[in-house]
Amino acid sequence: MTFSLVSAWNRRRRSKSLDAFHRWTLKPPEQLQLKDQSSSLGRRNRSLVFTLKEMEEATGSFSDKNLIGEGGFGRVYKGTLANGEVVAIKKMDRRPSKKQADGEHEFRVEVDLLTRLDHPNLVTLIGYCADGMHRFLVYEFMPRGNLQDVLNGISNLKMEWPLRVRVALGAARGLAYLHSNSALGIPIVHRDFKSTNILLSEYFEAKISDFGLAKLMRENEDTYTNTRMLGTFGYFDPEYALTGTLTLKSDVYAFGVVLLELLTGRRALELNQSTADQNLILQFRNIPTDQKKKLRKLIDPEMARSSYTMETITMFVDLASRCVRIDSNSRPTMSQCVKELQVILYASMKA
């Protein structure tokens, strides 16, 4: 079955690049096994194809002791491949017919994108399994888990201020690459950027994951209108929610929410709080950045006071507040966010 998204890419790419793109189809099980899986070198843009049996062997038949996460898509297991490489294996849920079609589309988008993109702040797709009705995605293993769990204390890890700024900068670089510098030559909107989709390496390098809802924009166009809302509540761009118009600035809005999560250690939405305190953005929207006393009350108390200065906090909040402006045209680009965070990180390290 032809993947129509790839066909659309082929039409948009420059003629000299057409040979680099091929239609991607699900192979029958007997064709899924690759002969050489011993080397991890040069794997980018050449993902491995696994069988269901290999996925079972890697995870101990999907043992609960190897379960490291779960969500609407299914479960994620820690696994070990035949060559000894430790990986994360996402097992996609088998859903009712309508949702199954959505899941299949998301699976195909993720495989096709991550085999063509190359950036240190995007998670590496090692391979996939499309064996019968079973669908798996195999990623590099990120030992620190996702950012939200770290901030909420679930993983018992502590992040001081300079490290939080460095994570923000890494995520910003990943988004900036998608928006303007990707190998596809076409702007890509992630559409589901959030703290749970920022994974952390052993050394707290931020890598963006979960590209199933990503949208390729038309060449020379920066908007896309769709009446069906896709994404996560708490990170929705207000313009996208009201008009159905998706832009690169929709990712910028979600990025601003993540910046506020990094500052406060809180979730974007906390329904167990009072109505006034449920939405994180509303806590900041009416606070001028020069009111340092009010800002101090919102800083994550888990951070050591000696790890930050109010100067860098103010710079950080100013950037976040501009990212979450209701008018998308007044938000910065991700490239601008990268430049400002570089300055903030330098100031934080110097302090």
SS3 for the chain, per residue?
Answer: CCCHHHHHHHHHCCHHHHHHCCCCCCCCHHHCCCCCCCCCCCCCCCCEECCHHHHHHHHCCCCHHHEEEEECCEEEEEEECCCCCEEEEEEECCCCHHHHHHHHHHHHHHHHHHCCCCCCCECCEEEEEEECCEEEEEEECCCCCEHHHHHCCCCCCCCCHHHHHHHHHHHHHHHHHHHHHCCCCCCEECCCCCHHHEEECCCCCEEECCCCCCEECCCCCCEEECCCCCCCCCCCCHHHHHHCEEEHHHHHHHHHHHHHHHHHCCCCECCCCCHHHCEHHHHHHCCCCCCHHHHHHHCCCCCCHHHCCHHHHHHHHHHHHHHCCCCHHHCCCHHHHHHHHHHHHHHHHHC
Domains of the chain: 4-140 (3.30.200.20), 147-350 (1.10.510.10)
Per-residue pLDDT of the chain (351 residues; tens, 9 = 90+): 444 433 433 443 333 332 333 333 444 333 333 333 333 333 445 679 999 999 999 999 999 999 999 876 789 999 999 999 999 999 998 655 445 566 788 899 899 999 999 999 999 999 999 999 999 999 999 999 999 999 998 878 889 999 999 999 999 999 999 999 887 888 999 999 999 999 999 999 999 999 989 988 876 555 555 656 677 888 989 988 888 889 999 999 999 999 999 999 999 988 787 776 788 988 787 666 667 678 888 999 999 999 999 999 999 999 999 999 999 999 999 999 999 999 999 999 986
Structure tokens at 142: 């990120």
Phi and psi at residue 173, in whole multiples of 5°?
Answer: -65, -40
Q: Would you please indicate which residues are annotated as catalytic (active-site) residues? A: 192
Residue 340's pLDDT is what? Answer: 98
d(CA 256, CA 251): 9
- What residues pair up with 71 in beta bridges, in sequence order? 74
- What residues pair up with 198 in beta bridges, in sequence order? 208
Residue 103's pLDDT is what? Answer: 77
Residue 339's pLDDT is what? Answer: 98
Residue 31's pLDDT is what? Answer: 39
Residue 291's pLDDT is what? Answer: 72
Contact 129, 139 (CB under 8 A): no
91 is an annotated ligand-binding site residue: yes
Residue 241's pLDDT is what? Answer: 81
